[in-house]
Structure 1
Amino acid sequence: MVTTGQLFPATRTDLPTFGYDTDDIATGALGDLAPEPGWPRPVLLDADFLILVTGGHGSAELDFRALSCRPGTLLRAHPGQALRCLGPQLDATVVRWGAGTLSGLDVDPDAVPAYRQLAGEDEDAVISEVTQLTVDADRHAGVPAATALLRHQLAVLLLRLTLLPIVPERTPRPETETFQRLCREVERGYPQSRRVDDYATQLGCSVRTLTRACLAVTGRSAKQVIDDRVALQACRLLAATDEPVARIGRGLGFPEPTNFGRFFTREVGVSPGAFRARREQPLPVRMVHPRPPADSPAGPGPA
């Protein structure tokens, strides 16, 4: 099914689809994502997104990392990430798709860098494909037969983005692969365990191997990488939802609120309550970033 129009009418804690089937492709404007005018706080994304800036200058905070935006900036965002865009007259075209949209197609959406500043022929080609996708999504809205057309257009766009020149890999490949495997396991298991030993057992390697890989890629230990991911999720929920602090802590494996408070303060630099109270201010505190976006000004890393 092809859909257009408003993508995201409100912020929710359970990441709903707002009436879209999980396999939908939707296009719209950047303003459709804002929970209310002015982006007073981040929004939790419910699906996969490409955001192509078409006008204005400003910044996007993707998981609390500030990224400079101007025409030609491309953002690749994932379900569950916290997004806020700031800047006068910052316009962008947004493409949204569900988990099953690309099933059966030979394309890896996760290979697309989280942040790119396009230029020259690459920018022209991406703009052309995003524009055609948007036009066709609008022209064929509600037409089941157009689903295949949109799926293949999206696949071609993603393939083109994966073929763009990338920053040369500076980390030895075995360490990078081990780090990425750990990140995938942490993504699945961080609410249940923050123990490096548990992940080493799951991956069939030693704690020393995981720590060496994490230090090579991020400069942080495996334990710090795991704690970074938990702290990031806490920040997302504190900033973008109104869930009680104690409930957020319990969902992240802290039965006692005081233990969650100590953990969060140690990792982020302020208490959960103080972080929430300052969430309407851009980048109010020091933040942790377990996986820096590729090609981001803040440093390289896997998606």
Structure 2
Amino acid sequence: MVSSGQLSPAPFAARATVPAEIDTLTLGDLASDPGRRRPVLLERDLLVLTTGGHGTAELDFRVLPCRPGTLLRVRAGQVLRCAGPHLDATVVRWDADALRGLDVDPDAVPAWIQLAGEDEDAVINEVSQLAVDCQRHHGVAAARGLLRHQLAVLLLRLSLVPERPRPGPVRERPRPELVPERPRPAPRAEVATFHRFCREVERGYQHTRRVEDYAARLGCSVRTLTRACLAVTGRSAKQVVDERVALQASRLLAATDEPIAQIGRRLGFSEPTNFGRFFTREVGMSPGAFRAARERPAPGPVVRPRPPADAVDGPRRA
């Protein structure tokens, strides 16, 4: 175990993998290209603990500073790019079912934490031990419970870290999120309606952008949905849906080579021109220009991140 506040390099020198559910790896293993210039579209949930160097991380196009002790909580489906010639980090990665049956909510962990003092020492110790056990017990069925509970303890500890100011965005075009960082007080009934709407949008945004369709599914009126969205976010229900579609388009354009027209079809646009007009209106640049900007050291104007709908209740500081 490590108590000095510094990670022991040995456990992280090589990738340790438990393919079924939980593994640990280095930041270099996670990046899809050696220069880390291109964002990575994540298929699994992550914790990224910076262990050395200084740099930045772009999480869903929001630029965040990273230095030793910085921890990122990244959700499956988000895009991540870490920059810095000497930036090193340890990544804890897990499947959706890894925590099934355990009393822990991963979405209670904020997207960015700067650890310090006893909190930093404790998290470093737990990440270090988890990496050691992943490596030592790779493929051992009896170790499954050990790793699951170690991950649960780590997430619970992170959810209890005292709140610290989150850094402001860097070179970011100001666009509202689906869930603002400082939510407006709203009646409980409208908050509940908003949560239900967000979950339905998450299931259906690739198929429809019509608020009427979501209202029908939820058994309420368009006015009810719009009132709930305005109360919680200051944005209309239609804007909530469109921002979710634009965010997904941004992710696919930045992190994949999928043709632009095909991305548009995946998101419900029958004509490429309609998709282009929609994206330009929402993001401020064409899909082609946005894709070209993915190789730049820092992002241009982009859609700001939106937490998954299921995380609406949870993150106090995300």
* TM-score bracket for the superposition, by shorter chain length: 0.7 to 0.9
What SS does structure 2 have at the residue aligned with 1:253? Answer: coil
Question: Larger RCO: Structure 1 or Structure 2 (Cα < 8 Å, ≥ 6 residues apart)?
Answer: 2
Does structure 1 residue 128 correspond to structure 2 residue 141? no
Please list, as runs of the form range in 1=range in 2, the aligned pairs for 1:77-92 lying within 5 A after superposition: 77-92=74-89
| Sequence identity percentage | 71
1:20 Cα offset (Å): 7.0
Equivalence for 1:229 = 244
Distance of aligned partners of 1:176 and 1:85 in 2 relative to their CA distance in 1, 3 Å threshold: farther
Distance of aligned partners of 1:176 and 1:51 in 2 relative to their CA distance in 1, 3 Å threshold: farther
Please list, as runs of the form range in 1=range in 2, the aligned pairs for 1:72-221 lying within 5 A after superposition: 72-166=69-163, 170-172=183-185, 174=188, 175-221=190-236
Equivalence for 1:247 = 262
Equivalence for 1:51 = 48
Deviations 1:225-245, CA, capped at 9 Å, x for gaps: 211111111111111111111
Deviations 1:126-151, CA, capped at 9 Å, x for gaps: 11111111111112122221111001
Q: Aligned partners of 2:316, 2:232: CA distance in 1, in Å?
A: 7
Q: Is the 8 A contact 1:42 1:239 kept in 2?
A: yes
Deviations 1:116-175, CA, capped at 9 Å, x for gaps: 122222222211111111111112122221111001100111111222334897532624
Q: Is the 8 A contact 1:228 1:290 kept in 2?
A: no
TM norm structure 1? 0.85
Equivalence for 2:60 = 63
Greater mean deviation of Cα atoms: 136-145 or 41-50: 136-145
Q: Aligned partners of 1:182, 1:56: CA distance in 2, in Å?
A: 41
Q: Is the 8 A contact 1:133 1:150 kept in 2?
A: yes
Q: Aligned partners of 2:296, 2:191: CA distance in 1, in Å?
A: 35
Q: Is the 8 A contact 1:268 1:285 kept in 2?
A: no
- Name stretches of at least 5 consecutive residues in structure 1 with no aligned partner: 8-18, 294-299
Q: Aligned partners of 1:178, 1:50: CA distance in 2, in Å?
A: 30
- Name stretches of at least 5 consecutive residues in structure 2 with no aligned partner: 1-12, 165-180, 309-314
- The one-letter amino acid paired with 2:241 is I
1:265 Cα offset (Å): 0.7
1:183 Cα offset (Å): 2.2
Greater mean deviation of Cα atoms: 44-53 or 195-204: 195-204
1:37 Cα offset (Å): 1.2
Q: Aligned partners of 2:117, 2:196: CA distance in 1, in Å?
A: 35
TM norm structure 2? 0.81
1:213 Cα offset (Å): 3.3
Equivalence for 2:6 = none
Q: Which stretches of structure 1, 4 residues or longer, exceed 6 Å deviation after superposition?
A: none
Deviations 1:205-260, CA, capped at 9 Å, x for gaps: 43333333333443322211211111111111111111111110000000101100
Q: Is the 8 A contact 2:276 2:287 kept in 1?
A: yes
Distance of aligned partners of 1:162 and 1:156 in 2 relative to their CA distance in 1, 3 Å threshold: same
Q: Is the 8 A contact 1:291 1:302 kept in 2?
A: no
Does structure 1 residue 264 correspond to structure 2 residue 272? no
1:193 Cα offset (Å): 1.1
Q: Aligned partners of 1:219, 1:276: CA distance in 2, in Å?
A: 29
Q: Is the 8 A contact 2:18 2:139 kept in 1?
A: no
What SS does structure 2 have at the residue aligned with 1:254? Answer: coil
Q: Is the 8 A contact 2:37 2:83 kept in 1?
A: no
Deviations 1:87-118, CA, capped at 9 Å, x for gaps: 12111110001111111111111222111122
Greater mean deviation of Cα atoms: 231-240 or 107-116: 107-116
Distance of aligned partners of 1:125 and 1:286 in 2 relative to their CA distance in 1, 3 Å threshold: same
Q: Aligned partners of 2:117, 2:197: CA distance in 1, in Å?
A: 37
Does structure 1 residue 285 correspond to structure 2 residue 314? no
Q: Is the 8 A contact 2:229 2:235 kept in 1?
A: yes
Greater mean deviation of Cα atoms: 98-107 or 146-155: 98-107
